[in-house]
Amino acid sequence: MTDFDRFKERIFQTFGLDLNSYKENQLKRRLDNLLSRKQYSDYQAFLQHLTGNKNAWHEFLDYLTINVSEFFRDVKMFQTLETKILPDLLQKKGNLKIWSAACSNGCEPYTIAIIMEEIAKGGNRYQIDATDIDNTILQAAANGSYGADSVRNVSPNRLAKYFTIEQGKYLVTNGIKARVTFKQHNLLADQYPRGYDLIACRNVTIYFTREAQDKVNKSFAQSLNSGGYLFIGGSETIFNYAELGFEKVSPCFYRKK
Ligand SMILES: C[S@@+](CC[C@H](N)C(=O)[O-])C[C@H]1O[C@@H](n2cnc3c(N)ncnc32)[C@H](O)[C@@H]1O
């Protein structure tokens, strides 16, 4: 067993995170960079630093998948969501259940809430569950405070309507915040909740092995109602979508049959 294998085993025992499900080369390269930047002599020393230090664990998770997110990330895809996918769902159902999985700092679920505010008609209701493995980022998400970079794709109208500006920070209004419930969820270990009409899971499974991606996508298929959509990242593809019971609607959208 190599030092790296031992490190992965200890991480699993201590934090319940299975690093074998992440692409090994990428993971090891990033981890080794972090260790040398922080001047740890070896994995064991880094492990000691991680246990009992919430910030260090957060920084490590950050390193695994890069926590970056922004409002309307991939503008075109959110246009498809706004003009095709959500209207289709709203026409069929009055009450939509939405899950933003691996939501990072909350830009993604809040973007969906902004769109829903504008397209849901009087009788329509909706609920957005937003989850991530990283509790620290979830706390930041619930605060809903962002720098100018995060809102660069938000139109001036929407900025005025759904944000207040305080000391250079863009704060999501309470009305939008109230639409989103944040919870911790590990895509590689936890049970998947069910009954969703839309699941957005973007820019995270790209870091997982093919086997882990399959498992996650299979679980999403079970979490979706029939006719529900899975919304993935711009650089992601599900090759075996038919086998999982999906049809491909457009580059980032798969509909459960
Ligand atoms: C690049 S961000 C994606 C944020 C957002 N979905 C987007 O596309 O803008 C990746 C997120 O995946 C989360 N993550 C990594 N591994 C995870 C896991 N096993 N379960 C749940 N979330 C995970 C990270 O904490 C990080 O916040």
Domains for the chain: give ranges and CATH numbers.
Answer: 3-65 (1.10.155), 75-256 (3.40.50.150)
Least confident of 94-98, 120-124, 186-190, 229-233: 120-124
pLDDT bin (cut points 50, 70, 90) of residue 97 is: very high
State whether the beta carbon of 74 lies less than 6 angstroms from ligand 1.
no
- Give me the mean pLDDT over the 70-76 stretch: 97
Picking from 200, 182, 171, 197, the residue whose alpha carbon sits closest to that of residue 78 is 200
Q: Whose CA is nearest to atom 15 of ligand 1?
A: 65
Which of helix, strand or coil describes residue 252? coil
Picking from 133, 103, 106, 129, the residue whose alpha carbon sits closest to that of residue 223 is 129
The more confidently predicted of residues 190 and 54 is 190
Residue 124 above 80 pLDDT?
no
Give residue 43's Cα distance to chain centre: 28
State whether the beta carbon of 133 lies less than 6 angstroms from ligand 1.
yes
- How confident is the model over 12-69, as pLDDT tens digits? 999 999 999 999 999 999 889 988 988 888 999 999 999 878 888 888 888 887 788 9
| Separation of CA 203 and ligand 1 centre (Å) | 7
State whether the beta carbon of 130 lies less than 6 angstroms from ligand 1.
no
Element (H, E) at 198: strand 196-201
State whether the beta carbon of 137 lies less than 6 angstroms from ligand 1.
yes
Residue 81 DSSP label: I
| Separation of CA 92 and ligand 1 centre (Å) | 30
pLDDT bin (cut points 50, 70, 90) of residue 1 is: confident
Q: Residue 91: its pLDDT value, please?
A: 92
